[in-house]
Structure 1
Amino acid sequence: MSGNQAIWLFTGAATLFLVGTDVFIMSPLLPAISAEFGVTPAAAGWLVTVMAVMYACGSPWAGTLFDRLQERRSYVLVAGLVCFALANLGTALADSFLLLLGSRLAAGLSLAAIAPSVYAFVSGLAPANRRAAWLSVVVSGNLTGLWVGTPLGTLLAGWEGWRLPFLCIAAGSLLLALLNGRVWPKMRKNTLMPQTKRRPLCDVLRSVVVTILWSMAMYGVYTFLGTALAQQNEFTSAQLAVSLTAYGVGAMLGSLSGGRIADWIGERPVSTASLLVLVPFLSLVGTLPSSNWLYPLLFLWALVGYAFVPSYQSRLSNEYPGETGRIMSWNITGMYIGMTLGSYLGGPVYQLWGFTALALICGGFALGAGVLSMGFVGKQVRNAPPDHL
């Protein structure tokens, strides 16, 4: 790997680490925010909802713009990071709940320009036989925000209040805007690749359904995991922290290993196998065994589940040549739709039938995704020359 390639991967991973930290940090800070502004926890939860909705809705537009700008594609990413810095500064300085809500809405729109651009840059610049491995590195950066960035942000909040983490994210966004503006090479539509028509939206949506079902399976269980462990297994805060750490480490290693294996044996078998093997693991997690068995089980569940992400992203990049920004952005939208549906539908299921039934139903979502993954056939372009000047 050349020096420039290492810088690209570091920049992409660092950028998505900041994104992951911002996405996940709000949840542990909601009690302090609701107390300061005198709103109910349910009302404070809208801070997470509006950001996720704007992130999901804005991504397809930003991805399409990325594809159309050709040599000026980095403008989308840099503009997104600058706006993201301003949005987080607004969050830190908000003196009313309405202003706070508006700042999170702006943060979601900014993220819609950041994440798809990073994935599209990395996918377009990667060697054909290393694309999934490269994508796995930046995906792991995003996941590190869950198990490293969020705990660090929570510690900062405990030290100087909930506003400090957002000031740090704003400062980091400006630094990354400068870095991203300098490191990415100019890119163009590769004239040596076979020219293909813009794929119909129905094809895109059919591909994204696989991601929606995967996300429903993973996050439907994950959303209620902490509650189930506290209520049924009577886990302490320390045990919950160990459980989430085991899951986070497994997710990161699953992403890294899934990308490497996909480059070795192919994206289609890895993405499909990940979905099918996920089914029994979800069933086992639903039994909530004792901590001696649960920690390694959570690690293996995340390891298997997150192997899907880089392998499927690489597969989509091959199946949609010339439309990387578009398909990556729609894939992110699908992921957030699945997260929303999984948590929304999981609540009634958990209350009525319990955690075991929820895990079995989510296993059904994973099985459906695996079947669709086997059946969908897209046009693939391999060994394409690099997409930069």
Structure 2
Amino acid sequence: MTTNDGNSPAGYLDRWRLLNAWVTMYVVGADLFIMSPLLPSMANALHVNVDSAGWLVSGFSIAYAVASPLMGRISDRYGRRRTICWGLLAFAAANLGTVCASSFTLALLSRIFAGISVSAISPSIYAAVGDAAPEGRRAHWISIAVSGLLTALWTSAPLGALLAHVMPWRAVFILLSAAAFVLAWPNLRLWPSSKSAGGRASRMRVPLRAAVSAVSPMVAWGAALYGLYTYLGTGLTLNTSLSASAVSLCFIGWGVGAILGNHLGGWGADKIGIHFTAIASLCGMALAMWLLGLGLSGAMGGGVLAATLCLLALVSYPFQPAQQTRLVQWGQSTKASLLAWNSSALYLGMTIGSAFDGYVMKHWSFNALPYAGMAIAAAGAALSLIAQSAFRSDAAVSAA
């Protein structure tokens, strides 16, 4: 068990572990989110249109979602440190494959391999953070790791746009490959060996029914939040009178709210309770979606809309660290498997949300999207209550 004394050797180790987790999650997140501004250049170099180049993103995401449960199982069986290290080395190799790709097919294969590699890294990082966290601060620690990914979400696209003007797109992937290769060493050194946990996990399994119940709220959360986010830029540009600077302000508001909400969720889960924080966040999301819908119908100004989006993110993102923390608590020695299922559930939710909100936009309007999100978030709160009830007993994760 680590200590909370920041001046002790354990305290210094804690800070290095958290910094390492944050940077690692930022790098793997940047690899996905930086793609959008690079796609036109990549499409031109690989002799395909931009729509086809979009499969470079989709291939990564699908591979991540499909491979995550298997990689979580490997992490539980063979240890977090080993899985993270090999995942980072494979991730570095995958990005070098993208650099060297001479055709669209080879580039797509490299992105699929990158997605599989990241599916080994992310759940293992969260599980390692949960393993190492001091008593009563587990959710706060996980929220710090998550904030690396969230920072990548709203900084990588503008960073990618800048880099696209100052260097070839292949150089961007060289930088990402180098960063992953360098990060393998601190991840190997900082995380403890988990041979005993891995031996126990090899005899444990997560029942499919329990896993589905546990991660079902994440499907709803991802569908409600990222379904709206997918069409936010297009909707604000085409369906409002906002200027380009006002639209940018809206995204900044969302990003600030996401970071603050994530840390608020870590604090709330530790101090108030993981179940209360998760359900309160989903209910708050539903209410904020309703307010956003009213505001869009009333043609609110850019500043008020940015504040409303900041509020939406602020009340929505506490769910993520609370959900991950209760999976760590429920999972015992199979926490990486549950966290991996949770990652797959998030990508499934994003896919469902994008498809559903696209249908809503086509048949109604952009202004209807917050109301669709409100309904999905309310369903997520109900699923969260069901999941909590299903996991009251330690029998949720049983011996094989």
TM-score, normalised relative to structure 2? 0.90
2:351 is equivalent to residue 351 of structure 1 = no
Give 1:186 deviation, angstroms.
1.3
Equivalent position of 2:71 in the other structure:
62
Q: How far apart, CA to CA, are the structure 2 residues paired with 1:92 and 1:284? A: 45
Q: Which of 9, 12, 22 is the aligned partner of 1:13?
A: 22
Q: Which of 33, 50, 60 is the aligned partner of 1:41?
A: 50
Equivalent position of 1:219 in the other structure:
226
Unaligned runs of 5+ in 1: 382-389
Unaligned runs of 5+ in 2: 5-10, 395-400
2:334 is equivalent to residue 323 of structure 1 = yes
SS at match of 1:323: helix
Amino acid at match of 2:21: G
2:154 is equivalent to residue 147 of structure 1 = yes
> Do the aligned partners of 1:157 and 1:164 also contact (CA within 8 Å) in 2?
no
2:348 is equivalent to residue 341 of structure 1 = no
Q: Deviations over 1:186-234 (max 9, x none)?
A: 125569x9xx964421011011111001000001100000011000114
TM-score, normalised relative to structure 1? 0.92
Equivalent position of 1:229 in the other structure:
236
Q: How far apart, CA to CA, are the structure 2 residues paired with 1:267 and 1:217? A: 20
Equivalent position of 1:275 in the other structure:
282
Give 1:161 deviation, angstroms.
2.7
Give 1:284 deviation, angstroms.
2.5
SS at match of 1:321: helix
Q: How far apart, CA to CA, are the structure 2 residues paired with 1:145 and 1:165? A: 15
Q: How far apart, CA to CA, are the structure 2 residues paired with 1:241 and 1:48? A: 23
SS at match of 1:297: helix
2:243 is equivalent to residue 243 of structure 1 = no
Percent identity, aligned pairs only, is 38
Give 1:285 deviation, angstroms.
2.4
Q: How does 1:1-389 map to 2 (within 5 A)?
A: 1=4, 2-70=11-79, 73-189=80-196, 198-286=205-293, 287-288=295-296, 289-376=300-387, 377=389, 378-379=391-392
Equivalent position of 1:387 in the other structure:
none
Q: How far apart, CA to CA, are the structure 1 residues paired with 2:224 and 2:258? A: 14
Q: How far apart, CA to CA, are the structure 2 residues paired with 1:158 and 1:250? A: 29
Q: How far apart, CA to CA, are the structure 1 residues paired with 2:171 and 2:308? A: 35
SS at match of 2:276: helix
Equivalent position of 1:385 in the other structure:
none
Equivalent position of 2:8 in the other structure:
none
Q: How far apart, CA to CA, are the structure 2 residues paired with 1:120 and 1:320? A: 10
